[in-house]
Structure 1
């Protein structure tokens, strides 16, 4: 079933992502009322009516495209953490972050996106990264490459001798051990900065505008789409323990994704101390 779906016309998935953004997200862009913004775990963890409605929209449209599939969405998991267990099941799973970069969206900035990935038994098979304000759509199929606006994406490699450009988790939102690991990037030859939307940072790596990311959290909706995008663009990823990142969880953190395997190993070694 899943192979037949992937071998078919996936333009309907792209259309579903675009329609959810056009219907539920963009009408609220720079139009949010105060009561439409709610704190979840704290002032830096926000949810809006656009997040919730877009996830509901995508849940209905994506499961209709692939009967028997289920959705693991950020807002559904917040309401019921047991939803996350679907990543360990046998059904195909749509992993959805309706608005990745909610803080940017709330501030009226363009740096947010909608992330959708299709996974089965822990393996990410396809992904869609859509930045609606920028009208940029990046897609990836496992073994089939990565595209941006229909054109091939290649991450390439950093220029020899150039300082590495790395986007990383904000140290304020890490455990003491993770904070210490991230401090390993504070060395000559590395220009590290706090990350924005994870999905757009991954896109930056896939298109060669950013050399690597280093993240200290493992929520599948933030990483599934981007990790496949980077991999299919020629990049690599690894946890601090030197293992591939597992979307179902249980990873040694932090982890990195980079433009090539050599860069990933360099960042991993810095994180490992």
Structure 2
């Protein structure tokens, strides 16, 4: 629990491991017992067949909401499922109180289909600035943590995104054009050019982890939901990468971004991808 005179930086120094423990416990209690064991009545559609929610999502978010608020009294929570039930709760991201940003199962479609490509994402932000990041892929038993100014780590090993090897195609994970506006679709089509290899993205959190590990060069995402991006953005930044919208500005979790945006292993790659998105949209 935070002490009266403690700053958020001090809180993170003392309690990052406690957040990790809460994430692991939520996954063990609410997610993994349902992996490949989901009953039909435990899966629902939200906006359509590509937007699913399960009892694992709902229960893991409730578990984390209680645990994280107990760690940091006075903090707010912006969770994917709570915002679906009450869209106004998203406004906490724009406030000055510390806010936990939670995606209990990032990659729900993969989870429902029994694929291991899902993770749990938690970030801590204040005033729109992401200060802490926790990414857990329970089937793979991978846990990535980043604290602003203190680096990014995967299972205790420091992450360095590095730069793409010169002379080979850029490897980009991108939103599928079919799930975008016409303008965003045109922007994404700008990526389909010589020297670029594009594939559909999977779990956003795992794509960010792949960038931080140097396995993917960049992403091109066409949606803003903070629970999908906050943890990964800080993870990549602390591994040496960066992010830009197609108009060349850093992505803001508070919204109002020119989409699509890119997150990349280094600044040069981010500028190149943002330029391709801008040229496609023009």
What is the CA distance between 1:111 and its match in structure 2? 0.1
Q: What's the counterpart of residue 23 of structure 2?
A: 17
Q: Which residue of 2 aligns with 1:188?
A: 194
- After TM superposition, list the pairs within 5 Å mapping 1:39-50 onto structure 2: 39-50=45-56
Deviation at 1:138, TM superposition (A): 0.4
Question: Could you tell me how far apart the structure 1 residues matched to 2:14 and 2:64 are?
Answer: 20
The root-mean-square deviation of aligned C-alpha atoms, in Å, is 0.6
Partner of 2:245: 239
CA distance in 1: counterparts of 2:200 and 2:166, whole angstroms:
24
Q: CA deviation at 1:248?
A: 0.9
Deviations 1:96-120 (A, max 9, x none): 0000000000000000000000000
Q: Which runs of 4+ in 1 moved over 2 A?
A: none
Take 2:139 and 2:242, find their aligned partners in 1: how far apart are those partners? 28
- Does 2:130 align with 1:124? yes
From 27, 33, 40, the equivalent of 2:33 is: 27
The residue matched to 1:185 in structure 2 has which SS?
A: coil
**1:71 to 2:83 alignment:** no
- State which of 160, 165, 170 in structure 2 corresponds to 1:154: 160
* 2:150 alignment partner in structure 1: 144
Shift of 1:196: 0.4
**CA distance in structure 1 between the aligned counterparts of 2:262 and 2:125, rounded to whole angstroms:** 20
Ranges in structure 1 where 5+ consecutive residues have no aligned partner = none
Per the normalisation by structure 2, the TM-score is 0.96
SS at match of 2:190: helix
TM-score normalised by the chain length of structure 1: 0.99
Paired positions, count: 273
1:94 and 2:100 equivalent?
yes
1:224 equivalent to 2:230? Answer yes
> 1:258 aligns to what?
264
1:4-60: CA deviation from partner (whole Å, max 9, x where unpaired): 312324211000000000000000000001111000000000000000000000000
CA distance in 1, matches of 2:181, 2:45: 21
Uncovered stretches (5+) of structure 2, i.e. residues with no partner:
1-6
In 1: Cα distance, 2:211 partner to 2:42 partner: 33
Equivalent in 238, 248, 255 of residue 249 of structure 1: 255
Residue 272 of structure 1: aligned partner = 278
Residue 90 of structure 1 and its aligned partner are, at CA, apart by 1.6
CA–CA separation in structure 1 for the residues paired with 2:145 and 2:157: 10
Give yes or no for the alignment of 1:80 onto 2:86: yes
Deviations 1:138-170 (A, max 9, x none): 010111100000000000100011100000001
1:3 Cα offset (Å): 2.8
